[in-house]
């Protein structure tokens, strides 16, 4: 496994739409492992492949220590409620803001074995799913930010 370089804001790659994974190959499995290691190294709770320079629809999320979700070709199929909470991004170091996200989301994806999985998340997991899926469509949290945490109330 390897720690990969994180692509930062300003790089046009972050604004591109990622392509679906057609086949789960050893290269995809290595990427998943490297993404988890990179996420841990940078104390993140989620990471999209585009953030490490790979335009594929792959995300890893870990909002509870030891519960790693590897999602290939994720698509949000349901959402409910509303939450406004603080959010940041490994690709936008030092910046955070309040975003408006669903309180609960359900996502369908493939796991590393190519099996379809469904994951429902609330609170932080819901935000992380939305945040990482947004990356796959070239969106950043600043696109849905209500206000910066640097602004006074």
> For the chain, what percentages of helix, strand and coil (3-state, to nearest 5) are there?
25, 35, 35
pLDDT category, 147, cuts 50, 70, 90? confident
Candidate list 23, 118, 132, 152, residue with the active-site label: 132
Tell me the domain boundaries of the chain: 12-148
Instruction: Give residue 152's pLDDT.
Output: 47
Helix or strand run (H / E) with residue 80? strand 67-80
Whole-prediction pTM value?
A: 0.94
Instruction: Give residue 151's pLDDT.
Output: 55
Is position 132 annotated as part of the catalytic site?
A: yes
Fold of the 12-148 domain: Peptide Deformylase (3.90.45)
- 8 A C-beta contact, residue 96 and residue 149: yes
- Interval 23-81: pLDDT, tens: 999 999 999 999 999 999 999 999 999 999 999 999 999 999 999 999 999 999 999 99
- 8 A C-beta contact, residue 136 and residue 59: yes
């Amino acid at each position: 496994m390897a720690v990969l370089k994180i692509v930062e804001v300003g790089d046009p790659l972050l604004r591109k739409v990622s392509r679906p994974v057609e086949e789960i190959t050893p290269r995809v499995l290595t990427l998943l492992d490297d993404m988890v290691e990179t996420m841990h190294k940078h104390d993140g709770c989620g990471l999209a492949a585009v953030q490490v320079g790979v335009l594929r629809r792959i995300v890893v999320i870990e909002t509870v220590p030891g519960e790693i979700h590897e999602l290939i070709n994720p698509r949000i199929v349901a959402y409910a409620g509303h939450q406004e909470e603080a959010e940041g991004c490994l690709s936008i170091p030092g910046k955070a803001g309040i975003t408006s996200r669903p309180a609960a989301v359900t996502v369908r994806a493939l796991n590393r074995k190519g099996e379809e999985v469904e994951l429902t998340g609330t609170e932080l997991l819901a935000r992380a799913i939305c945040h990482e899926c947004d990356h796959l469509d070239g969106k950043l949290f600043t696109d849905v930010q209500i206000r910066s945490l640097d602004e006074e109330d």
